[in-house]
Structure 1
């Protein structure tokens, strides 16, 4: 039985629990990686550095990614962007506060690991390839894979320009939240490549 079939057999609650568990593991790996890579001062600076101009870059990237996702969702055949309904199953019954919490948790854990640790070790291209590869349910969908890679690559560019982990965490969480709301309140599902 392949992994997608196993996921299909999970009830929604178990699927959500698996997502929380996965994010906890990602956060633990990020924490351990940071412990080896940075001094406390370096990490504090990386995490907390924020400049007003970063907000402009962040908003631009959020608008670009969200708009492109919605345009693709509305213009291509549904089978081209169908992730098996996983995102819809995750978000359809969540309250808004829980959706916010989940999107923030994913944004923090994934960006801390991928931008804060892996990007520092292997660079943006390889980090984006690795980030794309972990979204295994998209591997048969070229459009989704392309969107995941491009979003990750753009987050890497933003991180390189700003050297601000909090900025990319904010962007990732906001993209996920907006797309989750779009999914929750629209009949056709949209599939956020960030990730879930």
Structure 2
């Protein structure tokens, strides 16, 4: 029987352009499924009440806070895109590959799945144990593609911390879910339709 030689194993950085679209989506949805399962398991062992966790906000102001927060993040992102060089905000082309040719309905689905799965794990489960600050450090750390750039890492941390405070302020997990969805959906649409404009100019 041939022995496995661990010295022969090589880890290399994968260029997003090398990724097949199907594999990209499989990786995305598999990652989110794992995120959801881990979140559910942590909540279960914390003995939180699911009825409290998934209860919709009692006041409309919670949805308003989510919309205002999302708008503030999008406005700040627009300023960064306008004044900061592209290499500082480069994520390796992952977002372009993910949203660049995606139909509108699929951008919405991806944004909703990511918002629900990540907010359940980070705000619903991890923040319950460690608070918004340490949760946000972990949230920023898992967004590996941004770690090369301090500005983007800081922005991811700030967004996560804001989502954590939004959860505390409203008392509803649906507020950060709504904000997270709006941010990802609008940014995904910008990437998608900006590409159409660039292609049309050629």
TM-score normalised by length of structure 2: 0.87
State whether residues 129 and 149 of structure 1, in contact with CA within 8 Å, keep that contact through their aligned partners in structure 2: yes
> 1:193 — aligned with what?
none
Q: State the distance in 1 between where 2:82 and 2:194 align.
A: 11
Alignment of structure 1 residues 40-119 onto 2, 5 Å: 42-50=49-57, 51-119=59-127
Aligned CA-pair RMSD: 1.7
State whether residues 16 and 97 of structure 2, in contact with CA within 8 Å, keep that contact through their aligned partners in structure 1: no
Change (3 A) 1:3 1:57: farther
Q: State the distance in 2 between where 1:79 and 1:106 align.
A: 25
Change (3 A) 1:2 1:185: farther
TM-score normalised by length of structure 1: 0.89
5+ unaligned residues in a row in structure 2: which ranges? 1-9, 197-202
Matched, 1:180 2:188: yes
Pairwise CA distance, 1:177: 0.2
Pairwise CA distance, 1:94: 1.4
Q: Which runs of 4+ in 1 moved over 4 A?
A: none
Q: State the distance in 1 between where 2:61 and 2:144 align.
A: 35
5+ unaligned residues in a row in structure 1: which ranges? 189-196
Pairwise CA distance, 1:46: 2.1
> 1:30 — aligned with what?
39
Partner SS, residue 124 of structure 1? helix
